[in-house]
Amino acid sequence: MHDSGSLLDAFAEVRRTWDDLVNVQPDIVAGSVPLSDADLSVLSERIGAHVVAAVALEDAVEILRAEKGGA
């Protein structure tokens, strides 16, 4: 059985990965110089991590809904 702690943990991970993604600051970097292959690689990794975290959060919400009898 999941509890709200699992949901909060998943939410915290989404926030952490979002912060990691934003800290790459591709908009600021691209405003002064073209993004390098290394910049794009890091950006891609951070986007992937955030997507995985977001899917895990969605799963946690759906599990809680199912346990509470929701659709």
CATH of the domain at 46: 1.10.287
**What's the pLDDT at 2?**
56
Dist. CA 56–CA 41, nearest whole Å? 23
- Two structure tokens written together for 17: 């990965």
Q: State the pLDDT confidence band at 57, using cuts at 50, 70 and 90.
A: very high
- Give the C-alpha distances (Å, rounded to integers) separating 33 from 22, 43, 47: 18, 15, 21
| Tally of domains in the chain | 1
Quote the pTM value.
0.84
Residues spanned by the domain of 48: 4-67
Q: Model confidence over 2-56: pLDDT tens digits?
A: 578 999 999 999 999 999 999 999 888 888 889 899 999 999 999 999 999 999 9
- Two structure tokens written together for 40: 């794009």
Dist. CA 52–CA 37, nearest whole Å? 23
